[in-house]
Structure 1
Amino acid sequence: MLMPRSMRFLMFLTALALAAPLLSGCESVRYKTVCPTLVTYSLDDQTQLAQELVAAPSATMTHRVVRDYVGLRDQVRACQADGK
């Protein structure tokens, strides 16, 4: 007795679902974290930036962006330390 086409297709899908884990192998996926590279600023550059920030205390957005950038640099340093 022949099975209907839909039944054969369902059996094929079931067999495929059961066999797929066996065909996938046992090795787990490994992810590698890639940390951004930090730009190095000279002491003169840092001094000039500090002087400009002191000279413009009302530039609140500039101060906020610099604080955010300092935080991002700290995160990159932590990322680089974890990778070593």
Structure 2
Amino acid sequence: MIIPRSMRLLMLLAAIALVAPLLSGCQSVRYKTVCPTLVAYSLNDQAQLSQELAATPQAIATHRVVRDYVGLRDQVRACQASGK
């Protein structure tokens, strides 16, 4: 019995479709969260920053950026505490 070429191609494509998932592996992808490392600031650095912020209350953008940075540091601490 002679199988037409188009039928052989169709059978080949069907075989590939059935085998392809088996070749992809059994494990699912695992993602690992990597927490950033915090820069440690000395007490002197913190005191100096506090004094500079208190001395320039009109520097609204600087105060906003520092508040944002504090929030980011809190998020990093939470990430590190969760063991991720």
| TM-score tier after normalising by the smaller chain length | 0.7 to 0.9
Q: Which residue in the other structure is 1:26 paired with?
A: 26
In 1, the alpha carbon distance for the partners of 2:76 and 2:4 equals 62
Q: What is the CA-CA distance between 1:25 and the residue it aligns to? A: 2.5
Q: What is the CA-CA distance between 1:10 and the residue it aligns to? A: 3.6
Runs of 4+ in 1 over 4 A off after TM superposition: none
Q: Which residue in the other structure is 2:3 paired with?
A: 2
The number of aligned residues is 83
Percent of residue pairs bearing the same amino acid type: 75
Q: CA RMSD in A?
A: 1.7
In 2, the alpha carbon distance for the partners of 1:59 and 1:79 equals 31
Contiguous gaps of at least 5 residues in structure 1: none
- TM-score of the pair, normalised by structure 2: 0.83
- TM-score of the pair, normalised by structure 1: 0.83
Instruction: Show the 5 A alignment for 1:36-55.
Output: 36-55=36-55
Contiguous gaps of at least 5 residues in structure 2: none
